[in-house]
Amino acid sequence: DAGVIQSPRHEVTEMGQEVTLRCKLISGHNSLFWYRQTMMRGLELLIYFNNNVPIDDSGMPEDRFSAKMPNASFSTLKIQPSEPRDSAVYFCASSLAWADTGELFFGEGSRLTVL
């Protein structure tokens, strides 16, 4: 079984550039989460989608961040323009909402470095 697939695994860019991170959900899952992890703040929820609809985006830092689900199996997280403080590991996770365990399946993450 393929798990949650994220790309790119590593991204190095310069301040001001646009960054797009991609996530493919596990087939059949209908909830999608984007998290960000830094040493200072740990794992933070950025946005949560259910059935392709954004339910909670209160964790999105500012307008430079946007996330979409163009279809049920794919999501993007875009940062434009990027800043050095955006450097972090970005994880997406999927789940089958209302499943007994509500287990979240995480991807391996995208490590972003903004110079």
Partner 1 sequence: DAKTTQPNSMESNEEEPVHLPCNHSTISGTDYIHWYRQLPSQGPEYVIHGLTSNVNNRMASLAIAEDRKSSTLILHRATLRDAAVYYCILRPYSGAGSYQLTFGKGTKLSVIP
For partner 1, the binding residues (CB under 8 A) are 4, 31, 33, 42-45, 48, 50, 55-56, 91, 93, 97, 101-109
Helices (H), 67-106: none
Please name the amino acid found at residue 68. Answer: K
What are the structure tokens assigned to 40, written together? Answer: 């200072």
State in angstroms the smallest separation of the CB of 96 from partner 1: 12
State in angstroms the smallest separation of the CB of 13 from partner 1: 20
Residue closer to partner 1 by CB (options 37, 64) is 37
State in angstroms the smallest separation of the CB of 15 from partner 1: 25
- CA–CA separation, 14 vs 68, rounded Å? 23
CB 22, CB 34: distance < 8 Å: no
State in angstroms the smallest separation of the CB of 91 from partner 1: 5
Residue closer to partner 1 by CB (options 24, 64) is 24
Residue closer to partner 1 by CB (options 65, 91) is 91
Residue closer to partner 1 by CB (options 48, 65) is 48
Among 31, 19, 27, 30, which residue's Cα sits nearest to residue 76?
19
For residue 115, the tally of other CB atoms under 10 A from its CB is: 10
- CA–CA separation, 14 vs 54, rounded Å? 29
